């Protein structure tokens, strides 16, 4: 009975084109992501420098600390800062990121409200340098970045922290996107498995499709109580173009691009991921596989970012009340 | 992609077929048992030769066991300090010969063979020897002087009785022997018995053979060892063989029973001398037999060595015992990794550290499961607690992990000592746990705890432990252990299977649960 039930589930998931971990690793990451390109995305310093060189918008890099000694030299500068982010260059999955949003006479104030002193910072940085947050415990460097000031349009949807938009870019084509919103449960982190809310986004419009928390559908934000219905990401086209450009920049065929919307600077690339997770499918209520196969089936790939984004917005449009011009013909095949 | 897949399939097919073929060959041809605990009985038969040396050159020659019985000789060895050894062929009989330039005083030579009962009890071997035609000169040597007077008359009476009651040659032989032995009922037999016990020139077997030969039945003597346990220092047992209907048939000279007893190992037939000693006197040879039951694989190895089978020569059994024992463990590692691969690719279980569970399972092998689990959890719990204290001290990573290693060593020492004082032997085996792995596990778990909370710690810790326990059960399975050690070529099959799993792109079992909301909503 149990086995039949599982087989039935397997059949249904397959039918919906849900991409599994094994297939992702084998048929996409293993095939489209050249191992030699990994260090570029695994090391945020390199990817940041690359982005700057390519003219892709990124949060401002204030300083790079390679040793505790350097931190001591930088201390006087640091004491003047009131808003910044500490980021281990090789940290994965948001590990080791410390967000400082304020300062008083006793120390700095973290995004979560906690207070840290200089020695706390020093310990955190020394842990990061020692490789505590990096893959395989390799020694690391720490970036100090300017704090991103979240676009206030999302204030109603986020408990703490800055919401980010994850886009899966396959061979330069954005194939799926979601917004990640921190909750009280996720402790201000935008990590889905820790309880952040994932909101699936229509590629054509940037409007919300559905939202999930812990894999279960939700209609409103658990903390702010605001319904996700009218969530619409501004600068959507620009955001997709930025994501798509990361393909040309890194050469990685299967890429996760995390973008934040800054109040002053618009979309900024926060992080690139060579092994993006699968939760985005649940946030969209859609499997990735049909879209990936659609892109694989394109006889000749479009050379320019704009063309690729056009293709994606047309082909993968979903929203019922889409105002985008190209979407009408595709709409019946992919009901929202 | 397609060609890549078919290439892998080809490699997998090749590996699996190769592994299975070699294993099959070893099982069906070389006799390695498929299941553990299959035993065979083998006998250690030891000939002890004793004599006194004449203070001159000595040459001792012992007939080697007759080929062509239902027993096969697995191994021969001898202990004769100071003697040179060789085997010589003489009149178609192989003899072992020991020589020494000078020997005086009491000398002892041991000659030992290992034999195996290769055929079922009653199977009669129609080999050359039992088929060979009797020759005139072979047997005369052993015959006693012919009977005279009253004894002759008594014997003739027995022969006549047997002839009257028998229907054919074989039944005649049986009746004659029985007639000679019926001391209580037959006066003739008792009369002859008197001669046999009183005169050393006449032995029962010689008289029997004499009478048989006089009656026109070709006859010869067979001497051999009765394979009965705890028979120590026995002389050889004599049997009578008669040539009837074209082949030799054995009779027990005491009972007249036809056929060779199941446990009779023929050593020497006809007129060949058993032991020749030149340059010595008071020589005698006695035999002892001890049965041992040995695992079938040991037997197969021994037979393979005798036959110089390359597969056996290059098997793990060729290694010294100590290394063999090491490989018993090492060969179980692939089983553990296979479990890890299965759990991660097919089930999707999270573990802390990819192969940490295998190492923990290996430690469990030494400590046994329950004590192992208790020890493991205790060390991890104490370690985590101390690690939390350490984290307040603001240490560099390498220094902190080193401190955790030292703490783990301390905990292990304390556990051993405490358990020893309390008389709990099992906890002493704590030393089998890999310290560095434990330290890293503690470190990883504590970071996980700080970053993701205790829930994730229990999920990944529980996953690791579940995989470790599963691996443990797979590894302690006697059948699995037996197969991995006796058929290491099955590693190829495991390798093929692992390659195959590496190609698996279907859903993991836990993904079916994870993505469940996606199929439920509509």
Best B512, B516, B520 member to test A by mutation, with max A CBs in 10 Å, is B512
Residue B311 in any domain: the answer is: no
Domain that holds residue B378: 326-487
Residue A1 in any domain: the answer is: no
**Long-range contacts of A118-126, Cβ-Cβ distance < 8 Å, separation of 24 or more:** A118/A75, A118/A78, A118/A79, A119/B394, A121/A78, A121/A86, A122/A68, A122/A71, A122/B394, A123/B394, A124/A86, A124/A96, A124/A98, A125/A65, A125/A68, A125/A71, A125/A86, A126/A68, A126/B394, A126/B396, A126/B397
Q: What is the 3-state secondary structure (H, E, C) of A20-74?
A: CHHHHHHHHHHHHCCHHHHHHHHCHHHHHHHHHHHCCCCCCEEEEECCHHHHHHH
- Domain boundary residue, one of A146, A172, A193: A146
**Shortest CA gap B396–chain A (Å):** 6
Q: How far is the C-alpha of A68 from the C-alpha of B476, rounded, in Å?
A: 50
Best B344, B450, B507 member to test A by mutation, with max A CBs in 10 Å, is B507
Q: How far is the C-alpha of A237 from the C-alpha of A248, rounded, in Å?
A: 17
Residue A304 in any domain: the answer is: yes
Characterise B119 by phi-psi region: left (phi > 0), alpha (psi -120 to 50), beta (else): beta
Partners of residue A3 in chain B, C-beta under 8 Å: none
A32 shares its domain with A122: no
Which residues are bridge partners to A116 per DSSP?
A108
Burial B458-493 (b: 16+ CB within 10 A, else e): ebbbebbbebbbbbbebbeeeebbbbbbbbbbbebb
DSSP structure class, residue A227: B
ipTM: 0.77
**Shortest CA gap B462–chain A (Å):** 18
A139 shares its domain with A206: no
CB atoms B518 and A281 under 8 Å: yes
Residue B288 in any domain: the answer is: no
Residue B506 in any domain: the answer is: no
* Residues 6+ positions from B31 with CB-CB distance below 8 Å: B296, B299, B300, B303
CB atoms B515 and A18 under 8 Å: yes
The label of the residue with tokens 């919307």 reads: A261
Residue B470 in any domain: the answer is: yes
Residue A2 in any domain: the answer is: no
Residue A250 in any domain: the answer is: yes
A131 shares its domain with A165: no
- Domain boundary residue, one of A122, A146, A170: A146
**Digit-coded pLDDT (tens) for B415-446:** 888 888 887 766 666 777 788 778 888 888 88
Distances (CA, A) of B470 to A296, B184, B357, B484, B501: 40, 72, 9, 17, 18
A164 shares its domain with A272: yes
Interface residues of B toward A, Cβ cutoff 8 Å, are: 1, 345, 348, 394, 396-398, 447, 451-452, 502-509, 511-512, 514-519, 521
CB atoms A26 and B508 under 8 Å: no
A95 shares its domain with A231: no
A289 shares its domain with A232: yes
A230 shares its domain with A267: yes
CB atoms A23 and B519 under 8 Å: no
**Shortest CA gap A327–chain B (Å):** 24
Helices (H), B182-331: 187-198, 204-214, 296-306, 310-313, 321-330
Residue A50 in any domain: the answer is: no
A159 shares its domain with A239: yes
Residue A138 in any domain: the answer is: yes
- Predicted pLDDT at B170: 80
Q: How far is the C-alpha of B6 from the C-alpha of B17, rounded, in Å?
A: 16
CB atoms A126 and B508 under 8 Å: no
Partners of residue A122 in chain B, C-beta under 8 Å: 394
Q: Which residue of B has its CA nearest to A9?
A: B512
Are B364 and B468 a contacting pair, CB within 8 Å? yes
- Predicted pLDDT at A325: 39
Domain that holds residue A190: 16-40+152-327
Q: How far is the C-alpha of A50 from the C-alpha of A41, rounded, in Å?
A: 10
CB atoms A21 and B516 under 8 Å: no
Partners of residue A289 in chain B, C-beta under 8 Å: none
pTM above 0.90, yes or no: no
A207 shares its domain with A248: yes
Distance from chain centroid for Cα A50: 18
Which of B180, B184, B162, B159 is closest to B171 using CA atoms?
A: B162
CB atoms B512 and A9 under 8 Å: yes
Q: Which residue of B has its CA nearest to A136?
A: B353
**Shortest CA gap A306–chain B (Å):** 30
Picking from A6, A130, A212, the nearest residue to B512 by CB comes out as A6
A31 shares its domain with A74: no
Residue B456 in any domain: the answer is: yes
Q: How far is the C-alpha of A115 from the C-alpha of A219, rounded, in Å?
A: 34
Residue A179 in any domain: the answer is: yes
* Residues 6+ positions from B187 with CB-CB distance below 8 Å: B154
CA dihedral defined by B441, B447, B452, B455, rounded to 10 degrees?
Answer: 40
Residue A259 in any domain: the answer is: yes
> Can you give the CATH number for the domain in which A133 is found?
3.30.1490
| Domain count of the fold of chain B | 1
Q: How far is the C-alpha of A35 from the C-alpha of B67, rounded, in Å?
A: 68
Other beta carbons within 10 angstroms of residue B250's beta carbon come to 20
pLDDT at A329 over 70: no
Residue B291 in any domain: the answer is: no
| Domain count of the fold of chain A | 2
CB atoms A22 and B345 under 8 Å: yes
Which of A167, A124, A162 is closest to A146 using CA atoms?
A: A162
Are A269 and A56 a contacting pair, CB within 8 Å? yes
CB atoms A194 and B508 under 8 Å: no
Distance from chain centroid for Cα A124: 24
A161 shares its domain with A230: yes
Please state whether beta strands B280-295 and B39-63 pair in parallel, antiparallel, or not at all (unpaired): antiparallel
Residue B118 in any domain: the answer is: no
Render each residue's pLDDT in chain B as its tens digit; 522 residues.
456 778 888 999 999 999 999 888 888 887 778 887 777 777 888 888 888 888 888 888 888 877 666 777 777 777 887 888 888 877 667 788 888 888 888 888 888 888 877 654 333 444 444 445 555 444 444 455 667 777 777 777 878 878 788 888 788 888 888 877 777 777 777 777 777 776 666 777 777 887 777 777 788 888 888 877 766 777 788 888 888 777 788 888 877 777 777 778 888 777 677 888 888 888 888 888 877 777 777 777 777 766 666 666 667 777 777 777 778 888 889 999 999 999 999 998 888 778 888 888 888 888 888 888 888 898 889 888 888 888 777 677 778 888 888 888 888 888 888 888 887 766 666 777 788 778 888 888 887 787 777 888 888 889 999 999 999 999 888 888 888 888 888 999 999 999 999 888 899 999 888 888 888 754
Question: Token digits for B484?
Answer: 């991995």
Which of B460, B464, B496, B509 is closest to B334 using CA atoms?
A: B496
A119 shares its domain with A252: no
> Can you give the CATH number for the domain in which A196 is found?
3.30.470.20
Arithmetic mean of pLDDT, A34-58 = 85
- Domain boundary residue, one of A121, A146, A171: A146
Residue B348 in any domain: the answer is: yes
**Long-range contacts of A243-246, Cβ-Cβ distance < 8 Å, separation of 24 or more:** A243/A167, A243/A169, A243/A174, A243/A177, A244/A169, A244/A172, A244/A173, A244/A174, A244/A305, A244/A308, A244/A309, A244/A312, A245/A54, A245/A56, A245/A305, A246/A51, A246/A56, A246/A169, A246/A272
Best B397, B437, B459, B501 member to test A by mutation, with max A CBs in 10 Å, is B397
């Amino acid at each position: 009975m149990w086995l039949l039930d599982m087989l039935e589930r397997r059949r249904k998931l397959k039918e919906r084109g849900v991409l599994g971990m094994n297939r992702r690793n084998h048929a996409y990451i293993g095939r489209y992501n050249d191992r030699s390109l990994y260090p570029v995305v695994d090391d945020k310093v390199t990817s940041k420098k690359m982005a700057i060189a390519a003219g892709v918008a990124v949060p401002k890099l204030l300083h790079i600390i390679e040793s505790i000694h350097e931190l001591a030299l930088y201390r006087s500068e640091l004491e003047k800062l009131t808003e910044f982010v500490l980021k281990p260059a090789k940290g994965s999955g948001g590990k080791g990121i410390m967000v400082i949003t304020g300062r008083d006479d006793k120390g700095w104030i973290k995004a979560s409200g906690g207070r840290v002193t200089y020695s706390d910072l020093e310990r955190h940085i020394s842990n990061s340098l020692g490789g505590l947050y990096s893959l395989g415990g390799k020694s690391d460097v720490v970036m100090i970045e300017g704090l991103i000031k979240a676009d206030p349009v999302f204030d109603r949807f986020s408990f703490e922290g800055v919401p980010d938009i994850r886009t899966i870019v396959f061979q330069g084509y954005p194939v799926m996107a979601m917004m990640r919103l921190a909750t009280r449960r996720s402790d201000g982190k935008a990590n889905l498995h820790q309880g952040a809310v994932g909101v699936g986004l229509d590629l054509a419009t940037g409007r919300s499709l559905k939202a999930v928390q812990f894999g279960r559908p939700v209609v409103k934000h658990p903390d702010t109580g605001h319904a996700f219905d009218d969530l619409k990401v501004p600068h959507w086209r620009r955001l997709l173009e930025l994501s798509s450009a990361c393909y040309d920049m890194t050469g990685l065929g299967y890429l996760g691009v995390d973008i934040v919307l800054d109040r002053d600077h618009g979309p900024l690339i926060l992080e690139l991921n060579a092994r993006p997770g699968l939760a985005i499918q649940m946030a969209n209520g859609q499997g990735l596989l049909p879209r990936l196969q659609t892109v694989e089936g394109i006889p000749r790939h479009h050379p320019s970012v704009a063309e690729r984004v056009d293709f994606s917005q047309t082909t993968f449009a979903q929203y019922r009340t889409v105002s985008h011009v190209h979407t009408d013909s595709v709409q019946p095949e992919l009901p929202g | 992609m397609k060609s890549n897949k078919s290439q892998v399939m080809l490699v997998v097919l090749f590996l699996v077929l190769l592994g299975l073929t070699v294993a099959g060959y070893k099982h069906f041809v070389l006799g390695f048992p498929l299941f553990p605990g299959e035993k065979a009985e083998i006998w250690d038969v030891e000939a002890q030769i004793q004599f006194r040396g004449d203070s001159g050159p000595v040459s001792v020659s012992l007939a080697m066991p007759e080929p062509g019985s239902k027993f096969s000789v697995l191994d021969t060895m001898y202990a004769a300090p100071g003697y040179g050894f060789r085997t010589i062929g003489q009149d178609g009989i192989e003899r072992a010969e020991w020589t020494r330039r000078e020997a005086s005083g009491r000398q002892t030579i041991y000659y030992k063979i290992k034999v195996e009962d290769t055929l079922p009890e009653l199977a009669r071997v129609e080999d050359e020897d039992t088929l060979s035609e009797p020759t005139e000169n072979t047997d005369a040597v052993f015959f006693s002087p012919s009977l005279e007077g009253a004894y002759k008359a008594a014997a003739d009476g027995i022969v006549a009785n047997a002839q009257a009651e028998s229907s054919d040659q074989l039944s005649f032989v049986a009746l004659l022997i029985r007639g000679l032995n019926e001391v209580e009922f037959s006066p003739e037999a008792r009369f002859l018995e008197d001669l046999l016990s009183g005169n050393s020139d006449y032995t029962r077997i010689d008289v029997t053979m004499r009478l048989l030969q006089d009656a026109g039945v070709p006859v010869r003597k067979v001497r051999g060892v009765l394979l009965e346990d705890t028979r120590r220092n026995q002389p050889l047992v004599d049997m009578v063989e008669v040539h009837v209907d074209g082949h030799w048939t054995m009779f027990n000279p005491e009972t007249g029973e036809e056929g060779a007893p199941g446990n009779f190992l023929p050593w020497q037939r006809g007129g060949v001398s058993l032991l020749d000693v030149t340059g010595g006197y008071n020589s005698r040879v006695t035999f002892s037999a001890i049965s041992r039951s040995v695992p079938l694989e040991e037997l197969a190895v021994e037979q393979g060595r005798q036959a110089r089978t390359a597969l056996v020569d290059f098997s793990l059994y060729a290694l010294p015992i100590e290394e063999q024992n090491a490989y018993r463990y090492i060969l179980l590692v692939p089983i553990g990794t296979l479990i890890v691969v299965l759990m991660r690719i097919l089930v999707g279980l999270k573990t802390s550290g990819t192969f940490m569970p295998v190492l923990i399972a290996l430690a469990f092998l030494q400590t046994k499961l329950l004590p192992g689990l208790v020890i493991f959890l205790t060390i991890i719990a104490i370690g985590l607690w101390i690690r939390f204290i350490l984290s307040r001290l603001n240490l560099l990573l390498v220094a902190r992990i080193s401190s955790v290693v030292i703490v783990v060593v301390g905990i292990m020492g304390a556990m051993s000592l405490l358990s020893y004082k309390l008389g709990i032997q099992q906890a002493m085996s704590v030393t089998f746990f890999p310290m560095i792995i434990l330290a890293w596990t503690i470190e990883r778990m504590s970071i996980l705890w700080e970053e993701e909370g205790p829930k994730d710690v229990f999920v990944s810790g529980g996953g690791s432990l579940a995989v470790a326990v599963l691996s443990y059960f797979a590894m302690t399975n006697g059948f699995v252990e037996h197969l991995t050690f006796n058929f290491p070529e099955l590693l190829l099959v495991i390798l093929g299977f692992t390659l195959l799993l590496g190609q698996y792109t279907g859903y993991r079992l836990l993904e079916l649960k994870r993505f469940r909301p996606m199929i439920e909503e509509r």
